[in-house]
């Protein structure tokens, strides 16, 4: 079982709620994923077009809401968003995102650390989105982050586990859960993250913009389970020379 | 009287309550977060909150996100 901040989750797949074609498709895909934690964003209400209220579509009893601070460019903005999220009454979870550069959406490590310190003191369960930096992961853990969320590759790029080797170091060193977030574009990417020992993965774009989000959610759920079981079972050592799987003996009749 | 809500000026009748105002926008007070003059309002205080001339409101809500 996955445990973050004292709460246990049967599923190791966290699903984002952005980019779905409709609230109904999102609801069905999340149900199919078996996920128990979903991310949401906070935005000013468009008074001329309020749109679907996501809170009416998602069952608060069924899912832990993990609001993000997307759009924040510094610690101050992220803290403001986190406080607004808490005021919404969906708990004290926060996925801390501080992304000053719109081109890469890479997280600002200094501002992320600063905001984590403040929010931990305000009793938030802080899950910071970070570059795959093992030292930063330790620093965040030291100031009380509930988990760390290193990126596999840039948000929304579907490029997979480009940071695999740094994430392996993070996993090896961290005492808090490691949730691989961002860039996981295929179930195989999610499986790879789980095989190397990630505690969970967060997937949004790859499910939401798939031709069939419900089936893709199932595929990711299966991949996450498979990867986790493989990690627990123990993968073989990678070698540079061949080692025959069939017996080397009993071939004398051939020659 | 006039207030500013989400950057837009709005005329409201004196004595209008916050909950009444939110409902008039076809929004659900239970799911909207309110910042009033830069301060976040606790949900429990919505009921007794009356709008004042010149108030600056921000109405925020959850949307899909990753």
Question: Is the separation of the CB atoms in A41 and A68 below 8 Å?
Answer: yes
A131 exposed, middle or buried (CB, 10 Å; 0-12, 13-18, 19+)?
middle
Other beta carbons within 10 Å of A43 = 16
Please choose, from the candidates A61, A76, A64, the residue with its C-alpha nearest in 3D space to the C-alpha of residue A35: A64
Contact between A70 and B65 using a beta-carbon 8 Å cutoff: yes
CA atoms within 13 A on the CB side of A100: 8
Q: Cα torsion at B34, B39, B40, B45 (round to 10°)?
A: -80
Q: Using one digit for the tens of pLDDT, what is the confidence trace for A6-50?
A: 999 999 999 999 999 999 999 999 999 999 999 999 999 988 887
For A171-217, what is the HEC assignment? HHHCCCCEEEECCCCCHHHHHHHHHCCCCEEEECHHHHCCCCHHHHH
Q: Which residue is associated with the tokens 């969906």? A: A90
H or E element in which residue B2 lies: strand B2-5
User: Which among B32, B59, B63 has CB closest to A41?
Assistant: B63
b/e string for A44-75 if b means 16 or more Cβ within 10 A? ebeeeeeeebbbeebeeeebbbbbbbbbbeeb
pLDDT at A49: 80
pLDDT in tens, A140-191: 999 999 999 999 999 999 999 999 999 999 999 999 999 999 999 999 999 9
Domain A2-254: what homologous superfamily? Aldolase class I (3.20.20.70)
**B66: closest chain A residue by CA:** A16
Residue A96 and residue A69 in contact, taking contact as beta carbons nearer than 8 Å:
yes
Both structure tokens of A190: 């999610």
Low-confidence ranges of chain B (pLDDT < 50): none
How many angstroms separate the CA of residue B27 from the nearest CA in chain A?
8
Minimal C-alpha gap between A48 and chain B (Å): 9
β-bridge partners, A94:
A126
Chain B contacts of A63, Cβ < 8 Å? none
Give the pLDDT confidence score for residue A53 in this predicted structure. 78
Asked if B56 and B37 touch (Cβ cutoff 8 Å), the reply is yes
Global ipTM:
0.89
Residues of chain A contacting residue B30, judged by C-beta atoms under 8 Å apart: 55
What pTM, to 2 d.p., does this model score? 0.91
Residues of A with CB under 8 A from a CB of B: 16-20, 26, 39-47, 50-51, 53-56, 65, 67-68, 70, 83-85, 87-90, 155-156, 182, 202, 204-205
Closest Cα of chain B to A118: distance in Å? 17
Give the confidence band of A56 by pLDDT, cuts at 50, 70, 90.
Answer: confident
Domain range list for chain A: 2-254
In a mutational test of the B interface, the residue from A30, A84, A107, A149 whose CB has the highest number of chain B CBs within 10 Å is: A84
Q: Which two tokens stand for residue A255?
A: 């020659």
CA–CA separation, A52 and B66 (whole Å): 17
Domain boundaries, chain B: 2-60
**pLDDT score, position A50:** 73
CA quadruple A137, A140, A144, A149: dihedral sign: negative
Whether A193 contacts A228, CB under 8 Å: no
Could you read off the pLDDT of A184-235 as tens digits, one per residue?
999 999 999 999 999 999 999 999 999 999 999 999 999 999 999 999 999 9
Tokens (6 digits) for A139:
């620093």
Nearest to B6 among A45, A55, A202 (CB): A45
Class of domain B2-60 as given by CATH: alpha beta
Q: pLDDT tens-digit profile of A74-97? A: 999 999 999 999 998 889 999 999
């Amino acid at each position: 079982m996955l445990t973050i901040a004292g709460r246990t989750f049967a599923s190791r797949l966290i699903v984002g709620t952005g980019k779905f074609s409709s609230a109904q498709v999102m609801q069905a895909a999340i149900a199919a994923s078996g996920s128990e934690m979903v991310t949401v964003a906070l935005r000013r209400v468009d008074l001329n077009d309020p749109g679907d209220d996501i809170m009416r579509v998602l069952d608060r009893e069924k899912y832990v809401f993990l609001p993000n601070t997307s759009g924040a460019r510094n610690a101050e903005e992220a803290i403001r968003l986190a406080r607004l999220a808490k005021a919404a009454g969906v708990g004290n979870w926060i996925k801390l995102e501080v992304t000053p550069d719109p081109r890469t959406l890479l997280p600002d490590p200094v501002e992320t650390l600063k905001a984590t310190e403040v929010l931990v003191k305000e009793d938030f369960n802080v899950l910071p989105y970070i570059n795959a930096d093992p030292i930063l992961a330790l620093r965040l853990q030291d100031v009380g982050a509930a988990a760390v969320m290193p990126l596999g590759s840039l948000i929304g790029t579907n490029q997979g586990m480009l940071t695999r080797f740094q994430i392996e170091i993070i996993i090896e060193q961290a005492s808090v859960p490691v949730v691989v977030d961002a860039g996981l574009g295929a179930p195989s990417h999610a499986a790879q993250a789980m095989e190397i020992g990630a505690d969970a993965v967060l997937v949004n774009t790859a499910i939401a913009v798939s031709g069939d989000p419900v089936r893709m959610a199932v595929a990711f759920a299966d991949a996450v389970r498979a990867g986790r079981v493989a990690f627990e079972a123990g993968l073989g050592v990678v070698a540079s020379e061949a080692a025959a799987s069939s017996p080397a003996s009993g071939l004398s009749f051939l020659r | 009287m006039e207030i500013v809500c989400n950057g837009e000026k709005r005329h409201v009748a004196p004595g209008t309550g916050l909950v009444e105002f939110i409902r008039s926008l076809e929004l659900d007070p239970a799911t909207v977060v309110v910042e009033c003059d830069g301060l976040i309002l606790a949900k429990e205080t919505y009921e007794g909150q009356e709008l004042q001339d010149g108030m600056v409101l921000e109405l925020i809500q959850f949307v899909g996100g990753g």
